[in-house]
Amino acid sequence: MATMNTETAEFVKSGFMAAVPFARTLGAEFVDVDYGRAVMRLPDAEAHHNHVGGPHAGAMFTLGESASGAIITGTFGELLDRCVPLAVKADIQYYKLAMGTMVAEARLTRPHEEIVAELDAGGRPEFAVEVELRTEDGTATGAMTVVWTLKPTKG
């Protein structure tokens, strides 16, 4: 798959933030977006802290889920007139205490073409997006897997 041009990347970023107000509410920001990959950051904010002064688990979950969802917008945007993307399940692991600004890097684990072919054949494809959670200095603090589906719309 080709690299996303700047105009498309900006369209994906603005479209995602318009469609997902909770990510805006938390202050999540895009670092990078491309086909099959998205990187988002969550600036450190006292309002997001847990009882030990780091980002709350719910804020980290939202950051990871948002990065995974940005992949849907960026990679499957041309299909959204005929399907609805839905998160089916998510699993998160926390490796160590996170402190400060957080980064989530999400990657699609199944080839785009395979997912589109399944949808074109009348199926409801499911696919995982793997997310690495880390501090801004690169220290891995957790990982997440979000399973998505593209539910065909009745037309």
pLDDT in tens, 44-99: 999 999 999 999 999 999 999 999 999 999 999 899 999 999 999 999 999 999 99
Cβ contact 42:59 at 8 Å = yes
Domains and CATH numbers, the chain: 6-152 (3.10.129.10)
15: its two tokens: 């479209």
pTM of the model: 0.93
Phi, psi of 152 (to 5 degrees): -60, 140
Out of 10-19, 101-110, 143-152, least confident range? 10-19
Helices assigned H by DSSP within the chain:
6-19, 21-26, 57-76, 112-120
> Looking at residue 154, what is its pLDDT?
81
The per-residue pLDDT for range 107-153, each reduced to its tens digit, is: 999 999 999 999 999 999 999 999 999 999 999 999 999 999 999 99
